[in-house]
């Protein structure tokens, strides 16, 4: 399916049968509660972040310290929402997409009992780190549970909410909408289209369906 920003901009239904912890490239859109513009403003087609927006950007940039295999791609903070692409290495990630995003290629292989196990192909810091870590009981259990798309989004929402609420001197308030849009990136061509959409999103802010001043604005429900 070709990426179409007019369609691929709001909440989507999880793809039935897709392993969200098996590796893949994901495009997500997450909006603030009630569409409130808390992160800054668009000035002459450029996004000007305020302090809260800076904290949201910092949260995104820090996610690989929490999820060691995570690879971040295009990202944009808008006045009341964010767009981002991230990659989780695994057998489900197309090798061309892995190379285009700088992620390691992971292919399944069968062990002596015929069970499929993931293995890294090629070089990269992720492979070196995995090889250098001693196999202990704790990290063996951790590696058995692979990071999922939901883990990454959940951590981003939680950490950014805590940081912004602290800045705004408020407690127990939701910052980001419970619902969010997610799309599985299928190939390099689609990735490039999504990157272009994200990068140039501030230039389209006047007509953005998330802009409260746009006639097409619809709050997420």
Question: 17 lies in a domain?
Answer: no
pTM of the predicted model as reported, rounded to 2 decimal places: 0.79
Question: 112 lies in a domain?
Answer: yes
Q: Name the domain count of the chain.
A: 1
Q: What is the pLDDT of residue 110?
A: 44
Unique residue bearing structure tokens 């090798």? 95
CATH code at position 132? 3.30.70.1290
- Going across the sheet that includes 181-185, the strands are 71-77, 81-88, 24-31, 181-185
Contact 217, 211 (CB under 8 A): yes
Q: What is the pLDDT of residue 119?
A: 53
Q: What is the pLDDT of residue 217?
A: 66
Q: What is the pLDDT of residue 216?
A: 67
Question: 6 lies in a domain?
Answer: no
- Residue 41's domain spans which residues? 24-206
Q: What is the pLDDT along the chain (221 residues), one digit of tens a residue?
A: 445 555 445 555 566 667 887 899 999 999 999 999 999 999 999 999 999 999 999 999 999 999 999 999 999 999 999 999 999 999 999 999 999 999 999 876 544 444 545 555 543 444 433 333 444 454 444 445 789 999 999 999 999 999 999 999 999 999 999 999 999 999 999 999 999 999 999 999 998 888 988 766 666 54
CA 27 from centroid of its chain's CA atoms: 6
Question: 19 lies in a domain?
Answer: no
């Amino acid at each position: 399916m070709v990426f179409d920003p007019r369609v691929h901009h709001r909440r989507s239904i999880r793809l039935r049968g897709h392993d969200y912890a098996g590796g893949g490239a994901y495009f997500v859109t997450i909006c603030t509660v009630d569409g409130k513009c808390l992160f800054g403003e668009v000035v002459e087609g450029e996004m000007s972040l305020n302090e809260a927006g800076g904290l949201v950007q910092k949260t995104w940039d820090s996610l690989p310290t929490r999820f060691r295999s995570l690879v971040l791609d295009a990202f944009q903070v808008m006045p009341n929402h964010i767009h981002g692409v991230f990659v989780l290495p695994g057998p489900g990630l197309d090798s061309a997409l892995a190379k285009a995003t700088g992620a390691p290629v992971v292919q399944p292989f069968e062990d002596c009992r015929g069970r499929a196990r993931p293995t890294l192909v090629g070089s990269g810091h992720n492979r070196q780190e995995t090889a250098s870590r001693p196999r202990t009981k704790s990290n063996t259990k951790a590696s058995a549970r692979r990071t999922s798309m939901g883990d990454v989004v959940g951590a981003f929402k939680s950490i950014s909410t805590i940081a912004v609420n602290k800045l705004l001197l408020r407690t127990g308030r939701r910052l980001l909408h419970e619902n969010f849009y997610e799309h599985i990136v299928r190939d390099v061509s689609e990735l490039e289209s999504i990157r272009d959409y994200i990068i140039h999103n501030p230039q389209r802010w006047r007509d953005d369906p998330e802009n409260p001043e746009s006639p097409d604005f619809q709050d997420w429900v």
